[in-house]
Amino acid sequence: MTFKRQKNKMSSYGVLMKKNCDLVVKSNQLVQAVSNLSLVEIRLIQLAIVDAREVGVGISTDTPLVIWANRYATTFDVTLEAGYWALKEAAKTLFDRQFTLYLIDADTKKEKRITSRWVSQVGYVDDAAKLEIILSPAVVKEITRLESQFTRYYLEQTAPLTSAYAVRLYELLIQWQEAAKLPMFHLESFRQQLGLADHELIRMSDFKKRVLDLAVSQINEHTDITVNYEQHKAGRIITGFTFKLKKKHPKDVTPKAKTQSKPKQSPKNDDENIETLLQDEKWVSKHAQTGESWEQARTRLRHEAKTGKFTLAPTP
């Protein structure tokens, strides 16, 4: 059999047309779970979620979700042969993959550790290059529960990423896209969330080169956000990282009319000053509290300025 490369315009940000059915939705708990899925396995879980929405079958613990090799090849811009191989290999490994969730127990109000498989059943038709999977009850619960906080993103954003670490980092960060200030990712749990075992890439230089910097580079090149990070230390030991992310905007190529310089205006009063500062995302982010949305941060800072809890200072 001869395989031909599928043509697909997906190599850069903003090229693919966005469709509602291409929306990947996971609970934040599932995004933060400790897991070691390979890149192929991550992609197959994404496709299963997306295609369930597209064909309207829904996601349940007894409904097989079907993935075809040509669908995989077209979506991720690989040859049909690579798509065939991906499904065949996943049929061997996906059933054994597990993840760990940390939730609050309803009765004791204490942390509960849950370990689950990603799928409860895998079926594969070799001659048809067709994979069928049934998601496990824990996964179905975290995808379908309405009361949860969700992470949503379009498949086109992660499809060009060739590192599983880049996909995992994108998912971990995009859940905070509405926050003015992101929490610190503590090193030990951060490594686990990225899928690293305790014995893998222990040296920080190796971790940065082969995981963190690689992931950031791919995210910045291919997705709809730009990311940078800062490391934090206890003495000489790195204990964690904080990230800043910014949504990309399509470039405006419309010629702009020349503007004349405006005469200097008289100093503004405090109300005008705070409103000006609140439009500066850098200033708001600097004074925001961890996990606050932009609107929550602006509302709090506006109130504190009016009640005299801090003195207004010019933007650094």
The answer on 189 and 108 residing in a single domain is no
How many domains in the chain?
2
198, part of any domain: yes
Across 179-183, 216-220, 250-254, least confident range: 250-254
Q: Tell me, what's the pLDDT at 220? A: 95
218, part of any domain: yes
| CATH code (residue 187) | 1.10.10.10
Q: Can you give the residue range of the structural domain that contains 242?
A: 161-251+293-307
pLDDT band at 226 (very low <50, low <70, confident <90, very high): very high
pLDDT band at 13 (very low <50, low <70, confident <90, very high): very low
| Residues 106-148: tens digit of each pLDDT | 888 888 888 899 999 999 998 899 999 999 998 888 776 644 5
Q: Tell me, what's the pLDDT at 9? A: 37
Last residue of a domain, one of 121, 143, 159: 159
What is the 3-class SS of the chain, one letter each residue? Answer: CCCCECCCCCCCCCCCCCCHHHEEEEEHHHHCCEECCCHHHHHHHHHHHHHHHHHCCCCCCCCCEEEEHHHHHHHHCCEHHHHHHHHHHHHHHHHHCEEEEEEECCCCCCEEEEEEECEEEEEEEHHHCEEEEEECHHHHHHHHCCCCCEEEEEHHHHCCCCCHHHHHHHHHHHCCCCECCCCCEEHHHHHHHCCCCCCCCCCHHHHHHHHHHHHHHHHHHHCCEEEEEEEEEECCEEEEEEEEEEECCCCCCCCCCCCCCCCCCCCCCHHHHHHHHHCCHHHHHHHCCCCCEHHHHHHHHHHHHHCCCCCCCCCC
314, part of any domain: no
Across 24-33, 95-104, 162-171, least confident range: 24-33
Q: Tell me, what's the pLDDT at 301? A: 78
Q: Tell me, what's the pLDDT at 25? A: 65
Q: Tell me, what's the pLDDT at 316? A: 45
pLDDT band at 304 (very low <50, low <70, confident <90, very high): confident
**Which region, left, alpha or beta, applies to residue 77 given φ > 0 means left and ψ of -120 to 50 means alpha?**
left
Last residue of a domain, one of 96, 124, 159: 159
33, part of any domain: yes
Q: Tell me, what's the pLDDT at 202? A: 87
The answer on 246 and 170 residing in a single domain is yes
Q: Tell me, what's the pLDDT at 228? A: 93
| Residues 65-88: tens digit of each pLDDT | 999 999 999 999 999 999 999 999
The answer on 40 and 94 residing in a single domain is yes
Cα separation, 75 vs 229, whole angstroms: 30
pLDDT at 274 over 50: yes
Q: Share the mean pLDDT of the chain.
A: 78
Q: Tell me, what's the pLDDT at 240? A: 94
95, part of any domain: yes
pLDDT band at 95 (very low <50, low <70, confident <90, very high): very high
